């Protein structure tokens, strides 16, 4: 090829331009690939499960006697749900449901786990079967770092000291309280006069290591351990699933007395609200930790709710009927907040969903979808994937009924002039309550009557008949411990 002298003069410049363009294109492609890699990072999930907090106890849900600004701020950036249900009105079975995505009756955990004799008397096992399909197992198998920090109460309490450790349920690391196996934080107390004491000292017999710290600060202990775990997960470039399940708003209430100028004589409700406010401050540290880290802020979903209704005389559930242990709305409806602005449409952030209903067992299949985790097709689940509703992308309720059964030790209550119903079911706008044999039916339209004050069973006999048949058949299909098994447990 012949090149004239002008072409020869500009050839080096031409080659330089070509090389520069190639480098630029490579850099841009590399940057694009980095963005794609970044977008393919699996999201993190933090599950916060409060103990015995009433549906209206957060100031963002109507409480005017206490302020929870940090949790309210979380809600203002996410979505609040008014018609979210837990699947039992008491702690242990509610925790089984959210952990497994199944009805707790399947595992014979139907009330709070206690000592062997009391568990057997109520037809209950002493701990959750390790074969149960937990969300932590699924995520851990998919490469997630999994940690549980806080109350467990699904085995390992009172004189049940050979229960499996929490790590046998799919968690890499755990730190619990006096109702679980493995490392523990145990509560010290300090009254208004500065006298220091201990509660639940018997938990030392369940094994250690254990650390004693002030009950009014113990949520920070769980949060600090969770933060260390999340920091380590980041260093290892692993997505994480973390439970933070505090127990400070469960009685006995031990607020930082010096901060609130309180004494025990101020009464249960005042002490409860002081503990609630102190817990909110401690959670503020967690929320700031997530929000101030861009990597976490843009790739973390926080789910916040309570395990059951409030203890009578402490928390409240607005005008809803019932308390902890009851199948009325006050015992099973929970204030749910879902936060993850990066995953939500902008116009959904800061909104309140008061029309769609679903329950805790629906969170597991929804988180499967959210994390992109493949699970065995035959894995047992009673939940439905309601992820688009959780993220504010659609307005759709659970499509099949939700069923409940009364804790076996909660048939009567002093504020009710007759025995409490045994079973409950929500289907669409309607909720039915009845006894195990279908007797004494109560029917409510929860859209018109969320307070369950107007029993319309006589007006809708066909609906009562249909719903009674469904809920009693559901309960009859649940496993029951036979007498030999109960004697063995005892």
Range of the domain at 480: 421-489
Would you say residue 174 lies in a domain?
yes
Return mean pLDDT, the chain: 91
Question: Do 176 and 183 form a contact (C-beta atoms < 8 A)?
Answer: yes
Task: Please list, in sequence order, all residues whose beta carbon lies within 8 angstroms of the beta carbon of residue 155, skipping any fewer than 6 positions away.
Answer: 113, 126, 127, 128, 163, 164, 180, 181
Would you say residue 433 lies in a domain?
yes
Would you say residue 272 lies in a domain?
yes
Mean pLDDT computed over 165-169: 98
Of 180, 222, 189, 167, residue with least CA distance to 50: 222
pLDDT digits (tens, 9 = 90+) for 417-452: 899 999 999 999 999 999 999 999 999 999 999 999
Stretch among 214-228, 264-278, 392-406 having the lowest mean pLDDT:
264-278
DSSP 8-state secondary structure symbol assigned to residue 411: S
Task: Enumerate the H helices of 292-395 as residue ranges.
Answer: 294-297, 329-332, 363-371, 387-390
DSSP 8-state secondary structure symbol assigned to residue 221: H
Q: Are residues 216 and 290 in the same domain?
A: yes
Q: Max Cα separation, the chain? A: 109
Please tell me the predicted confidence (pLDDT) of residue 488.
41
Is 70 exceeded by the pLDDT of residue 11? no
Task: Enumerate the H helices of 292-361 as residue ranges.
Answer: 294-297, 329-332
DSSP 8-state secondary structure symbol assigned to residue 459: G
pLDDT band, residue 482 (cuts 50/70/90): low
Q: Are residues 317 and 269 in the same domain?
A: yes
Stretch among 19-23, 112-116, 184-188 having the lowest mean pLDDT:
19-23
Residue 482: phi and psi, rounded to 5, are -80, 175
Would you say residue 4 lies in a domain?
no
- Which of the two residues, 297 and 206, has the higher pLDDT score? 297
DSSP 8-state secondary structure symbol assigned to residue 440: S
The CATH number given to whatever domain includes residue 246 is 3.40.720.10
- What is the CA 93 to chain-centroid distance, rounded? 13
Question: Do 381 and 364 form a contact (C-beta atoms < 8 A)?
Answer: yes
- Which of the two residues, 227 and 19, has the higher pLDDT score? 227
Please tell me the predicted confidence (pLDDT) of residue 23.
45
Q: How far apart are CA 173 and CA 183, in angstroms?
A: 9
Q: Are residues 222 and 365 in the same domain?
A: yes
Please tell me the predicted confidence (pLDDT) of residue 14.
43
Q: Are residues 257 and 320 in the same domain?
A: yes
Surface-to-core class of residue 180, CB atoms within 10 Å of its CB (0-12 exposed, 13-18 middle, 19+ buried): buried
Please tell me the predicted confidence (pLDDT) of residue 363.
98
Surface-to-core class of residue 52, CB atoms within 10 Å of its CB (0-12 exposed, 13-18 middle, 19+ buried): buried
The CATH number given to whatever domain includes residue 466 is 3.30.1120.10
Tokens 């500065």 correspond to 194
Q: Are residues 322 and 462 in the same domain?
A: no
Of 230, 238, 231, residue with least CA distance to 371: 238
Q: Are residues 325 and 447 in the same domain?
A: no
Q: Are residues 360 and 482 in the same domain?
A: no
pLDDT digits (tens, 9 = 90+) for 240-253: 999 999 999 999 99
Would you say residue 342 lies in a domain?
yes
Is 90 exceeded by the pLDDT of residue 194? no
> Where does a domain end: 371, 400, 429?
400
Of 305, 247, 369, 249, residue with least CA distance to 86: 305
Would you say residue 101 lies in a domain?
yes
Mean pLDDT computed over 276-280: 97
Task: Enumerate the H helices of 213-336 as residue ranges.
Answer: 218-235, 257-260, 268-291, 294-297, 329-332
CB atoms within 10 A of CB 286: 24
pLDDT band, residue 364 (cuts 50/70/90): very high
pLDDT digits (tens, 9 = 90+) for 23-76: 444 444 443 333 333 447 999 999 999 999 999 999 999 999 999 999 999 999
Q: How far apart are CA 442 and CA 490, in angstroms?
A: 36
Q: Are residues 128 and 208 in the same domain?
A: yes
Domain count, the chain: 2
Q: Are residues 311 and 460 in the same domain?
A: no
Q: Are residues 430 and 344 in the same domain?
A: no
pTM of the model: 0.90
Stretch among 135-144, 201-210, 268-277, 284-293 having the lowest mean pLDDT:
201-210
Strands (E), 316-382: 333-339, 351-353, 358-359
Please tell me the predicted confidence (pLDDT) of residue 10.
47
Q: Are residues 468 and 320 in the same domain?
A: no
Q: Are residues 210 and 66 in the same domain?
A: yes
Please tell me the predicted confidence (pLDDT) of residue 121.
95
pLDDT digits (tens, 9 = 90+) for 75-117: 999 999 999 999 999 999 999 999 999 999 999 999 999 999 9
Q: How far apart are CA 49 and CA 360, in angstroms?
A: 11
Would you say residue 80 lies in a domain?
yes
pLDDT digits (tens, 9 = 90+) for 110-165: 999 999 999 999 999 999 999 999 999 999 999 999 999 999 999 999 999 999 99
Q: How far apart are CA 416 and CA 488, in angstroms?
A: 36
Tokens 């859209």 correspond to 447
Please tell me the predicted confidence (pLDDT) of residue 27.
42
Would you say residue 207 lies in a domain?
yes
Mean pLDDT computed over 303-332: 97
Question: Do 77 and 339 form a contact (C-beta atoms < 8 A)?
Answer: yes
């Amino acid at each position: 090829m012949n090149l004239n002298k002008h072409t020869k003069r500009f050839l080096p410049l031409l080659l330089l331009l070509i090389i520069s363009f190639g480098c630029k294109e490579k850099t841009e492609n590399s940057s694009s690939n980095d963005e794609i890699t970044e977008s393919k990072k699996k999201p993190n999930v933090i599950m916060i499960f409060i103990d015995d907090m009433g549906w209206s106890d957060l100031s963002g849900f109507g409480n005017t006697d206490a302020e929870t600004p940090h949790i309210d701020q979380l809600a203002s950036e996410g979505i609040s749900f008014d018609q979210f249900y837990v699947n039992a009105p008491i702690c242990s079975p509610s925790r089984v449901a959210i952990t497994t995505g199944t009805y707790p009756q399947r595992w014979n955990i139907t009330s709070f786990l206690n000592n062997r004799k009391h568990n057997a008397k109520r037809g209950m096992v002493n701990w959750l079967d390790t074969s149960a399909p937990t969300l932590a197992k699924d995520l851990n198998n998919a490469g997630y770092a999994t940690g549980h920090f806080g109350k467990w109460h699904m085995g390992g309490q009172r004189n049940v000291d050979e229960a499996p450790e929490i790590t046998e349920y799919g968690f890499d690391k755990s730190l619990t309280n006096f109702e679980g196996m493995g490392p523990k934080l145990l509560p010290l107390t300090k009254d208004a006069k500065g006298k220091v004491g201990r509660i639940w000292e018997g938990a030392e017999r369940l094994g250690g290591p254990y650390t004693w710290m002030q009950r009014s600060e113990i949520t920070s202990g769980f949060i600090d351990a969770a933060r260390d775990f999340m920091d380590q997960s980041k260093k290892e470039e692993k997505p994480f699933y973390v439970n933070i399940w505090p127990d400070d708003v469960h009685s006995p209430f031990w607020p930082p007395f010096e901060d609130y100028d309180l004494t025990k004589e101020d009464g249960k409700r005042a002490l409860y609200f002081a503990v609630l406010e102190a817990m909110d401050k401690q959670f503020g540290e967690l929320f700031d930790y997530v929000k101030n880290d861009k990597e976490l802020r843009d790739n973390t979903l926080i789910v916040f709710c309570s395990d059951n209704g409030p203890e009578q005389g402490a928390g409240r559930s607005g005008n809803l009927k019932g308390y902890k242990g009851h199948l009325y709305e006050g015992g099973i409806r929970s204030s749910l907040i879902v936060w993850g602005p990066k995953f939500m449409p902008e116009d959904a952030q800061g909104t309140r969903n008061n029309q769609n209903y679903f329950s805790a067992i629906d969170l597991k299949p929804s988180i499967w979808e959210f994390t992109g985790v493949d699970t065995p097709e035959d894995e047992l689940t009673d939940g439905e994937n309601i992820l688009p509703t959780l993220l504010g992308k659609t307005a759709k309720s659970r499509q099949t009924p939700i069923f409940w059964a009364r804790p076996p030790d909660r048939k009567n209550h002093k504020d009710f002039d007759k025995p409490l119903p045994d079973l409950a079911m929500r289907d669409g706008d309607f909720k039915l309550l009845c006894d195990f044999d279908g007797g004494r039916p109560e029917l409510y339209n929860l859209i018109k009557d969320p307070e369950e004050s107007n029993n319309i069973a006589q007006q809708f006999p066909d609906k009562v008949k249909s719903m009674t048949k469904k809920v009693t058949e559901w309960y009859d299909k649940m496993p029951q411990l036979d007498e030999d098994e109960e004697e063995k447990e005892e």
